[in-house]
Every structure is written in C-alpha cells, then in structure tokens.
Structure 1
Amino acid sequence: MAVKLGPNRYGKAQTRLVHVVKDGPVHHIRDVNVSTSLSGDMEAVHLTGDNAAVLPTDTQKNTVYAFAGRHGIGQIEEFALLLAGHFARSQPSIHHARVEIEEYAWRREGPHSFAREGGEVRTCVVHRDRDGRASVVSGLKDLVLLNSTGSEFHGYAVDEYTTLPPAADRVLATAVEARWRHTGGTSSYGSSYERVRRCLVEAFTGTHSRSLQQTLYAMGERALATCEEICEVRLTLPNKHHFAVDLSPFGLANDNEVFFAADRPYGLIEGSVLREDAPDAGFAWE
C-alpha cells in the first residue's frame, strides 16, 4: 500500500501574554492569547525523525514574549502580522506561518487598576508566506445578544416527528461568533473592529426576524455595506432557546414574560455573506 505525507503544520498553542505599558502613573494593559503554526519543508521530521528543519515550539513561545517586549502589541492584527512575517522568513524550511490571537478586555478602574470585562473576545487569524503574501481575518466571539420580542418562526417544513409549535412572538438570543476578511491594508484595525461590531449589533437589534438565518444575512449585509475594507463575513449563531413556562398549574397566565433558558441542545446557524467581486480567499480561512 502506497502512502504519503499530507498537509501538516505545528506550533505553540495558547501562549498567554499580558503586556503593561507604563505612561507615568497611568498604565495600559493588553491581555492576549497567541497561537502560532508553521509549515513548509517538514517531510524529514515526519518520515525519519530528522529535526533539522524544526524550529522548536518553545522558541515560538519565546519569540512571542520577545516581540511584545521589543515592539509592544498595539492592534492584535498588526502584532500577528509582525510575528507571521518573522516566522515565514526565519528558517529556510519554513514557508508559511499562521498566527491566531484572542484579546480579552479590561475596564479601567483607576490609573493602574482594572476590572476584567465579561463581554466578547476579540480575535484575529493572520497568514503569511515567505513570498510576502498575507491575509488578515478579524473577528469576535461570545458576543451575547437578545431581543425579547420582534422575532417569529413559522411556516417551516413539518413531518411525522415535528412537535415544535409555530411562534408569532418569541425571544431571539444568540452568542455571536463572527469573522471578517480584509481586502488589504487598513489604516486602523481598531476602528475597523468597532465599526463592524456596531453593524452586527445594529442589524441584530433592528431586524424583525422571521428566522435566525434571516438575521444572520442582515448582519453580514450591514457590515459589508458599511465597511469597505472587508469583503466577506462568516457568522456562527447558536440559537439560545427561551421557552415560555406554562404557569397554568398555578392559576397564572404567561404573556411571554417568564421563560426557561435552555442551554442544550440548541440550533446552530452558520453562514457567510460576501461581495460578488470578493477576491479569492486563498489560505485566509485555514
């Protein structure tokens, strides 16, 4: 039987890094989780155990810390591009670098005091190869949104196993995971993030929803219409079901005021919205 080595990569996952910038008595904090992956001429290490082409994952971890000390972090997309460019050029055997970063928000409570925010996590994935080609995908996850009305679900297909009653007025809730692909360089990844996030929230809150799929499309469409620097949005929307509780055994009516918030199982709606002329994604989503 003939076999061969397929696509592969290796790296250091979830290097935790907190960077404090001291501006006199006022400090600034960036809290990130960095994962690096490298690929290239790695046949020998897999087939014979020859490690000559392998840059140790511990070295990758050390590089993350050293670059934070030397360059700071700034916008996570810029830091990821810097790291990916370094790794793609650092060794002849490395042809491609992937850097993924999650950023955790802190709220200022004083000149050097902070409280951890409980909201969404900002994300990015950057690819860069030794020829200088690069892609940037920004995003967020765990953005929990809820509409207490303005949502319905009916007219769906039914079969012998269908028990779900039609809903003319329901709670619509989700924990948004969104990623968006940049068409090229942007003057500020930070301001781009804020604008895309605002579009996602405004579309969710402003759409009278007949399905979570409809809402997904409205969110992606709003972001693309507003933010020229992006060409594709991919969304993952778990349907966080809220079921009205039957209060009739207690002699009470329930006008969609008391709900049981179920955590599982849940519907999972996924989809992408992109410009008709969007350039080929290449390795951006890998």
Structure 2
Amino acid sequence: MTGTSVRLGANRYGKAETRVVALRRDSDRHEITDVNVSIALSGELAATHLTGDNAAVLPTDTQKNTVYAFAKKYGIDQPETFALLLAERFVAGQPTITHARVAIESYGWQRVGATGHSFARTGPEVRTCVVHHDAEATHVVSGVSDLVLLNSTDSEFWGYLVDEYTTLAETTDRILATAVTASWRHADLPADPAGWEKSYTTAKQDLIDAFAETYSYSLQQTLYAMGQRVLDNQPGVCEARLSLPNKHHFPVDLTPFGLDNDGEVFFAADRPYGLIEGTVIRDDAPAAGQAWE
C-alpha cells in the first residue's frame, strides 16, 4: 500500500501546569507567591516525531525541575519576570530549542491576622502572563481571568435583528454581568521589575472602572470601552484582547404566588450564555508575531 503524502507541521512540547508555592522566610513577616507554570518549546524536533530519535529533546521533567530550581535561585517576584527568565534559559541553554513559550497563572493571597504568616486567597480573579522568546523577538502579554463584574442597571439591549426564531424581548433596564478574561500586549517592557506590578494593577482597575462607568447598550460596546481605557492609560501597552461571557440574569415570574417582581428577584443562568470577544489595538502597534499563540 502506498502511503499518503504528508509532512510534519508546526509542533511544540513541554511541561504543563507545574504548580509552585514559594515562601520568603527572611523575617517574621513571610511573603508568599503561588503560580502555575506551563512551558512549550519548539525547534529542531522533526526527528523525534518521524523516527523517535530523542537527541534534540529536553525532557519535560527537566523543564519542571528548572522551574523549581529557578524559584529557589531567583525567587518569584513578578510572573512576567519569572517567565522571561525561564524562556531565555530554555532557548539559550539548548541548541535544538529555538523558541520558548512560558505561560503563568498567579494566584493572589492577602495577609490576615497579626502573626505575619497567615494568608487568605483573594480572587476569584487570576493574574496571567504569556512570554514568547526566540532569537528574533521577545513578546510579553499580561492579563487577568475570572474577574467577575456586575452592573445592576444602566444596561439596555434592543434594536437587534429579528427573525422567525427570535423570542428575546427588548429591554431598557437589565443586569449586565460577566467574568472578564483580558490580555494586554506590551510594546515596551518595563526597565524596573516593579513596573509589571504597576501595569497589572492599573490595567485591572481600568477594566473595572470602564465597566462600571459605561452606560451600556450592548456588551460589545462595554468591551470596547474597557479595552480603550487600558490603552489610554498605558502608553507601553499596544493591544488589548477581551473575552466576556454574558452571565444572564432572568427575572423570576412570581405571579403564581401573587407577588410582583419589579426587577428584584432573578435567576442567574449557568448556560448557555452569550460570548463576546474583541480586540482594541493602537494604529501604530508593532507586529504581534507569536505573542497571542
């Protein structure tokens, strides 16, 4: 039998979701960092796919061990800084590895009590970053996921297309709720590592403020306002991408119980849900390359 003519396409491999909790104990006031690190490497790896020759492969177990060792040697201050260290290590350390993608989820903790060693998880939002690094360029995308927001009024939805399957009633007053996943691409990397924290804090607050301050006729309109606010307030950010599920709240019919419901009691639906996604980008933004992959 003659084999089908095929070739190896784009590929990468790595160690996903290495969870690291790092403590600094150099005083009675401890510091905690809690991250989930996912690595994907690519390069001259055709042989391992085509013949099983692993001479070019850095084991994923080695990648995991590098994460733990770097957490000890360098600490984990900002997720972007740690991701950059790892990405540069993998590309510089192995001639067969030409590109590294390092993604980090960072889980927040806040200090509680008076002991200096007690903490409570914050959230549910999660700080995120993705770093792409090779000989040609370095791209950093920061972000946040599961940032849950709700406006109890100042949202309308009407004037939309209608066909024979449309049952949705127009409304001039509704709850608007979402769980924001947002990412923003840096055109300029902060010279000071503390700049990553400032950028994240500013962007998160911009997202919240724009959501709260926009009188919304559509979730699409709100999305654009949120992305624009991030770019307006951070010259070093050139592009913002947002994914906003519409967390529907439906008024409950209380008439069977002899009760009125004047926008006071709602059923929070789990699924299905509308999903609104979009990008806000500067006209002069540099090419993204592999930044969003």
- Tell me which interval the TM-score lies in, with the shorter structure as reference length: over 0.9
Distance 2:5 2:272 in 1: 43
Confirm or deny that 1:38 pairs with 2:41.
yes
**Aligned residue for 2:84?**
81
Structure 1: which amino acid aligns with 2:60? T
Deviations 1:173-209 (A, max 9, x none): 0000000000021131000000011110000000000
Structure 1: which amino acid aligns with 2:128? T
**Aligned residue for 1:102?**
105
Secondary structure of 2:17's match?
strand
Shift of 1:250: 1.4
- In the TM superposition, 1:185-196 aligns within 5 A as 185-186=189-190, 187=192, 188-196=195-203
Identity of aligned residues (%): 65
- In the TM superposition, 1:9-158 aligns within 5 A as 9-110=12-113, 111-129=116-134, 131=135, 133-158=137-162
Shift of 1:270: 0.3
Instruction: Give unmatched runs, 5+ long, in structure 1.
Output: none
Secondary structure of 2:30's match?
strand
Instruction: Give unmatched runs, 5+ long, in structure 2.
Output: none
Secondary structure of 1:209's match?
coil
Shift of 1:118: 3.3
Q: CA RMSD in A?
A: 0.8
Distance 1:192 1:98, change over 3 A: same
1:257 pairs, out of 255, 264, 268, with 264
Secondary structure of 1:12's match?
coil
Distance 2:136 2:45 in 1: 20
Confirm or deny that 1:271 pairs with 2:275.
no
Deviations 1:60-94 (A, max 9, x none): 00000000000001100000000000001111100
Structure 1: which amino acid aligns with 2:36? N
Distance 2:94 2:256 in 1: 71
Secondary structure of 1:204's match?
helix
Shift of 1:24: 1.3
Structure 2: which amino acid aligns with 1:182? H
Secondary structure of 1:166's match?
coil
More strand by share: 1
Deviations 1:214-267 (A, max 9, x none): 000000011111111100000000000000111111111111110000010000
Shift of 1:19: 0.3
Secondary structure of 2:16's match?
strand
Distance 2:133 2:126 in 1: 23
Structure 1: which amino acid aligns with 2:233? T
2:182 pairs, out of 178, 184, 194, with 178
Structure 2: which amino acid aligns with 1:93? T
Q: Alignment length, in residue pairs?
A: 285
TM-score w.r.t. the length of structure 2 is: 0.96
Distance 1:17 1:142 in 2: 20
**Aligned residue for 2:288?**
281
Distance 1:266 1:141 in 2: 17
Shift of 1:132: 5.7
2:253 pairs, out of 242, 246, 249, with 246
Distance 2:162 2:219 in 1: 18
Secondary structure of 1:127's match?
strand
Structure 1: which amino acid aligns with 2:18? T
Secondary structure of 1:54's match?
coil
Structure 2: which amino acid aligns with 1:156? Y
Distance 2:289 2:91 in 1: 17
- In the TM superposition, 1:152-167 aligns within 5 A as 152-167=156-171
Distance 1:244 1:37 in 2: 46
2:219 pairs, out of 197, 212, 223, with 212
Secondary structure of 1:173's match?
strand
